Amino acid sequence: MTTKWWIEGGTFLTMDDGQPIVNGHLVVEGSRIVYLAEAHPGALADGAERISGSGLLFMPGLINTHGHAAMTLLRGYADDMVLQDWLQNKIWPLEARFTAEDVRAGAALAAVEMLKRGTTAFVDMYDHMDEVAQVVEQAGLRGVLARGVIGLCSEAEQRAKLEDAIRFARDWHGKADGRIRVMMSPHAPYTCPPAFIEQFVQAAHDLDLPMHTHMSETAAEVEQNVRDYGVRPVEHLDRLGMFSRPTLVAHAVHLNDDEIALLAERGVAVSHNPASNLKLASGVARVPDMLRAGVTVSLGTDGAASNNNLDVFDEIRLAALIHKGVSGDPTAVPAYEALKLGTVYGAKAIWQSDEIGSLKPGMRADIVALDIDQPHYYPRTDLISHLVYAGNGRDVKHVWVDGVQVVRNRTCTRLDEERIAAEAAARFERLSSAT
Amino acid sequence: MTTKWWIEGGTFLTMDDGQPIVNGHLVVEGSRIVYLAEAHPGALADGAERISGSGLLFMPGLINTHGHAAMTLLRGYADDMVLQDWLQNKIWPLEARFTAEDVRAGAALAAVEMLKRGTTAFVDMYDHMDEVAQVVEQAGLRGVLARGVIGLCSEAEQRAKLEDAIRFARDWHGKADGRIRVMMSPHAPYTCPPAFIEQFVQAAHDLDLPMHTHMSETAAEVEQNVRDYGVRPVEHLDRLGMFSRPTLVAHAVHLNDDEIALLAERGVAVSHNPASNLKLASGVARVPDMLRAGVTVSLGTDGAASNNNLDVFDEIRLAALIHKGVSGDPTAVPAYEALKLGTVYGAKAIWQSDEIGSLKPGMRADIVALDIDQPHYYPRTDLISHLVYAGNGRDVKHVWVDGVQVVRNRTCTRLDEERIAAEAAARFERLSSAT
């Protein structure tokens, strides 16, 4: 029997430009929204479980388009350091010791945090991805997952990694009622030799999958690319055929005008990670320029070791603030556009904009309810503005993914939060005590 | 009879460099901390009300060193606009219609928001300040209040404003058990003629009060100062004698090296307002340079029309992030320093560092308890880092000011939150409907 439920008398931020705010009713049948309008749903609501929308603002679940969920285990382990020192002396040595169980524990902690802060879909690039996929399946999240690979190793090791990435795709793409999708993901141009990247592009063609990689995060990395390959990263990846596949690149901080134009032409989507880019002093991405050029820009938190939270609302607010301050234009990235980065454009960046990212009949029921009976939502001038400039993931009260309630009254329904927090704490103790 | 209470077995972020984190006990008698140490307080705890510290992180209340509390009434009313358009066509016309009752309603909403987000002391510059002072008294907050004046008017009007500012100081300085202090506050060099500023300096001397003003918020304002007076704002105010009084200046975004050196030499404190400066595209203040030069830098939210919240934790995180990203130095404004901006340096900026800003015996009991049984506080790597990079004012569970509990289980004890929100909503409706 298909479950049917009805939000009665709520305020809906649809993220649908035709009517961004609807004060009315929403009905879900199974995994999809079947009704959203001001008028009473009439017979359509017959037999539906009724949920009061009073004091709540409903919006599409947020989409986090870049991260490494398991890195929650390293949250706060090393901060305020120079990037290479941070990576080489702190992060990489501990990551090298990660077991599958560590990845599962870290991903589970990430799942709790993301769901409770209103994120319903996320991109993940890491190792031991079977564990992450199992967490996604159990948590009820939507995941676009990739076995990320670094190619600075022997050809035999490269081959094993490629095979693992292909095997993971075959095992998991389309699983968990279609909530899991898979990408092919060479880590970055500076960590993967060109021939290795080409093998991934070929595999993506063979499996009909999109691609994901880190690109142009730091100025040094761009310089090195020019030194090693004679061109900047965008042209380099384009020559290797990557952009012949649907591609999502993370960071894209250091781009010139030609590169922005090429990304737009090739339909390459960008995951903008403002908190991570600021914290690691990578710089400020040219988001207003990219948006003007027609590039799809979405938002990512990056891993919790470089953020250090997984709250996409924080990224939305940062995106709305920093591009104004840095460009000197107070109209840059207005509130509604900032919200689109975390919803509509996020869905487009993971090729699911027909399914998620906005609330309207026919879309999947990935819905977040925020408690707006709080001082920072008063007076009732402009809910979009309140949400972006004063709101926060802690305002989230309920969350549904694919029609299923995964957070009720600020508590995960499918995950044991206490056990997961304790397990993460214990796993970190084990990892760090042996160093 | 003096009230006595004892936090048993908690984690204390003291903000005292000698021992920033203490796992132990804290005892308060009356309005002051009388004990804070690892060891059991013994007989000192006799007869004390016992509060369990389990799952909580205690820290000094945050200090918001610049704002306009009543402007919560205009939260979200006008965003993403060019500054002059925003001020002249939106903010000022509505502000001109503010009555004393509006100011009281807006200040009350601000008081609720600040207390619930862990702010225990704030600076306020506005009109109808008797209303604000009464709200401070009732809410149990600590306030440093100033009747802000714009001098672009007749001499008679200027005189009336000066007299009102002096009268307000005489009526309120030292009131509410010493929780209220007063400053003399010409609005800004570009809104007050030199002779008018000098009258305020004289009044501050006569009354032995400090001074507060907006300074060098925008590049245009600095240029105008040079055009009108031949010097930049710092030298201008110095010549007018302002810095012969203890002075707190808000914004200080556009400073050259000489100005930073002069502020350090004169002991002028700065209120850095990162969210407001970004949102209004004013620019990014040279905080790392000011700190290096020995300037006392604190944090302010500014008014809720240009932020749009009053959460000092947000400002702490922004300060820790943007100065890294903009300077290219990932070690700029590390987590602990960012926390100092909102606590120890905040106290220094309002000349109360002997009383508030850190937790140790002898200090006033202005204490915030945060719920750290949440996913973003795991694993237990570094609580300071978690608080700055992943924490937020919504984590605040209890708040005490001057030894009195003003927030208990996320609810204000001395303010009627529901009535205040409804009143603010109604007041905004009235203000905006007549335009």
Q: Mind listing the pLDDT tens digit for each residue in B163-206?
A: 999 999 999 999 999 999 999 999 999 999 999 999 999 999 99
CATH architecture of the domain B4-60+361-412 equals Roll (2.30)
Question: From CA B406, how far away is CA B310, in angstroms rounded?
Answer: 17
Q: What is the dihedral of CA B195, B197, B201, B203, to 10 degrees?
A: 80
Q: Per mean pLDDT, which range of A91-95, A344-348, B335-339 is the poorest?
A: A91-95
C-alpha distance from B377 to closest chain A C-alpha (Å): 8
Which of A54, A79, A407 should we substitute to test contact with B (largest number of B Cβ atoms within 10 Å)? A79
Q: Give phi and psi for B187, each to the nearest 5.
A: -55, -50
Q: Which residues of B are annotated as a binding site?
A: 66, 68, 95, 147, 187, 214, 217, 302
Residue B73: both structure tokens together: 């009434």
Whether the CA torsion B255, B256, B257, B258 is positive or negative: it is negative
H/E element holding A417? helix A417-433
Contacts of A325 in chain B (CB under 8 A): 277-279, 281-284, 322
Residue to mutate among A72, A84, A276, A278, with most B CBs inside 10 A, is A278
Rg of chain A taking only CA atoms, in angstroms: 21
DSSP B216: S
Give domain limits for chain A: 4-60+359-409, 62-349
Q: For B151, left (φ over 0), alpha (ψ -120 to 50), or beta?
A: alpha
Q: Which of A57, A71, A72, A75 to mutate to test the interface with B (most CBs of B within 10 A)?
A: A75
- Residue A175 has a CB neighbour count (10 Å cut-off) of 17
pLDDT band at B83 (very low <50, low <70, confident <90, very high): confident
User: Is A187 annotated among the ligand-binding residues?
Assistant: yes
> Is residue A319 a contact partner of residue A369, using CB atoms and an 8 Å limit?
no
Q: Are B58 and B11 in contact (CB under 8 A)?
A: yes
B180 in Cβ contact with B154 (< 8 Å): no
pLDDT at B243: 98
- Closest CA in chain A for residue B107: A375
Examine residue A409 and say whether the peptide bond preceding it is cis (omega within 30 degrees of 0): no
Chain B's closest residue to A396, CA to CA, is B394
Residue type, position A24, single letter: G
Total residues belonging to chain A: 435
Q: Rounded to an integer, what distance in angstroms lies between the CA atom of residue A166 and that of residue A153? A: 18
One CATH from 3.40.50.720, 3.40.50.10800, 3.40.50.2000, 3.20.20.140 for B62-349: 3.20.20.140
Pairing verdict, β A21-29 and A32-37: antiparallel
- Taking alpha carbons only, the member of B16, B34, B20, B17 closest to residue B7 is B34
Does B429 sit within 8 Å of A308, measured CB to CB? no
- Closest Cα of chain B to A76: distance in Å? 5
Quick check: B389 and A421 CB within 8 A? no
**Confidence band for B396, pLDDT divided at 50, 70 and 90:** very high
- What pLDDT is stored for residue A88 in this prediction? 87
Interface test with A, best of B57, B77, B79 (most A CBs within 10 A): B79
Nearest to A428 among B321, B330, B381 (CB): B381
| pLDDT at A118 > cutoff 70 | yes
Answer whether residue A405 shows pLDDT above 80: yes
CB atoms within 10 A of CB B171: 13
Cβ-defined contact of A330 to B386 (cutoff 8 Å): no
Counting every residue written for chain B, the total comes to 435
The pLDDT of residue B1 is above 80 = no
First to last CA, chain A: 54
Give the pLDDT mean for A151-165.
97
Please give the helix or strand (H or E) that residue A411 lies within, else none: strand A411-412
Peptide bond into A379 cis (omega under 30): yes
**Considering chain B, what is the average pLDDT of its residues?**
96
Task: Identify the residue among A77, A80, A253, A326 best suited for mutation to test binding to B, counting B beta carbons within 10 A and taking the highest.
Answer: A80
Cβ–Cβ gap A282/B325 under 8 Å: yes
pLDDT > 90? residue A433: no
By Cβ distance, the residue of B309, B320, B379 closest to A425 is: B379
Q: Is there a binding annotation on residue A217?
A: yes
Distance between CA A81 and CA A87 in Å, rounded? 9
Contact call for residues A35 and A44 (beta carbons, < 8 A) = yes
Cβ atoms B66, B275 nearer than 8 A: no
> Closest Cα partner for A55 from A5, A118, A9?
A9
What DSSP letter does each residue of B89-112 carry, written as one string?
A: IIIHHHHTT--HHHHHHHHHHHHH
In the structure, what pLDDT confidence band is assigned to residue B435 with cuts at 50, 70 and 90? low
Reported confidence tier of residue B87, pLDDT bands at 50, 70, 90: confident
User: Of B234, B233, B232, B271, which Cα lies nearest the Cα of B251?
Assistant: B271
| pLDDT tier, A435 (very low <50, low <70, confident <90, very high otherwise) | low
Q: What are phi and psi of A36, to 5 degrees?
A: -155, 110
CA distance B249 to B229: 19
- Rounded distance, CA B38 to CA A25, Å? 55
Q: Determine whether the interchain pair B281/A325 forms a contact, defined as Cβ–Cβ distance below 8 Å.
A: yes
Task: Encode pLDDT of B276-311 as tens digits.
Answer: 999 999 999 999 999 999 999 999 999 999 999 999
Task: Report CA B347 to chain centroid distance, whole Å.
Answer: 9
Q: What is the mean pLDDT of residues B238-263?
A: 98
ipTM: 0.96
Tens of pLDDT, residues A227-282: 999 999 999 999 999 999 999 999 999 999 999 999 999 999 999 999 999 999 99
Query: Are the beta carbons of B280 and A427 separated by less than 8 Å?
Result: no
The mean pLDDT value for A165-175 works out to 98
Binding-site sequence positions of B for substrate: 95, 147, 187, 217, 302
**Cis-peptide into B392, omega within 30 deg:** no
Average of per-residue pLDDT across A117-122: 98
Element containing residue B371 per DSSP (H, E)? strand B367-371
Which two three-digit tokens encode residue B181? 């202090």
Would you say A66 is a known binding-site residue?
yes
Token representation of residue A401: 């993914």
Give residue-wise pLDDT tens across range B111-158: 999 999 999 999 999 999 999 999 999 999 999 999 999 999 999 999
Two tokens at A390? 């004063």
- The whole-angstrom distance between A279's CA and the closest CA on chain B is 5
Which two structure tokens, joined as six digits, stand for A411? 């508590």
Long-range contacts of B201-205 (CB under 8 A, 24+ apart): B201/B240, B201/B241, B201/B242, B201/B244, B201/B245, B203/B162, B203/B165, B203/B166, B203/B169, B204/B245, B205/B244, B205/B245
Confidence (pLDDT) at A1: 60
Q: What letter represents residue A410's amino acid?
A: R
* Residue A376 annotated as binding site: no
Interchain contact, A282 vs B76, CB within 8 Å: no
> Which tens digits make up the pLDDT trace of A282-298?
999 999 999 999 999 99
CB contact under 8 A, B379 and A75: yes
C-alpha closest to that of A301 among B224, B389, B425: B389
Q: What is the DSSP letter of B58?
A: E
CA distance A296 to A349: 6
* Region A4-60+359-409: CATH code: 2.30.40.10
Of B335, B376, B425, Cβ closest to residue A80:
B335
Find the closest chain B residue to A106 by CA distance: B379
B410: pLDDT strictly greater than 90: yes
Six-digit token string for A30: 């199974």
Q: Which of B73, B324, B375 is closest, CB to CB, to A279? A: B324
Q: What are phi and psi of A23, to 5 degrees?
A: -100, 105
Domains A4-60+359-409 and A62-349 share a fold: no
The CB-side HSE value for B86 (13 A sphere, CA atoms) comes to 17
To the nearest 10 degrees (0 to 180), the angle between helices B194-207 and B155-172 is 20
How do B396-401 and B404-408 pair as beta strands? antiparallel
Q: Which residue has the higher pLDDT, A1 or A401?
A: A401
Q: Does residue A246 have a cis bond before it (omega within 30 degrees)?
A: no
The per-residue pLDDT for range B56-81, each reduced to its tens digit, is 999 999 999 999 999 999 999 999 98
Query: CB B321 to CB A279 under 8 A?
Result: yes
Cβ neighbours for B223, distance < 8 A, ≥ 6 positions apart? none
- Assign B51 to helix, strand or coil: strand
Nearest CB to B308; choose among A77, A331, A390: A390
Q: What is the DSSP string of B233-280?
A: HHHHHHHTTGGGS-EEEEE--S--HHHHHHHHHHT-EEEE-HHHHHHT
Do residue A281 and residue B327 have CB atoms under 8 angstroms apart?
A: yes
pLDDT tens sequence across A4-49: 999 999 999 999 999 999 999 999 999 999 999 999 999 999 999 9
Strand partners, A228: none
| Chain-chain contact of B330 with A82 (C-beta, under 8 angstroms) | yes
A289's tokens: 């320029």
Provide mean pLDDT across the span B262-283.
97
CB pairs under 8 A between A and B: 205
3-state secondary structure at position A202:
helix
Closest residue, chain A, to B307 (C-alpha): A389
Q: B324: which chain A residues are within 8 Å (Cβ-Cβ)?
A: 278-281
User: Which residues in A109-196 belong to E strands, given as ranges?
Assistant: 119-126, 142-149, 180-186
- Comparing CA positions, the residue from A127, A81, A140, A78 lying closest to residue A101 is A127
pLDDT of residue B412: 98
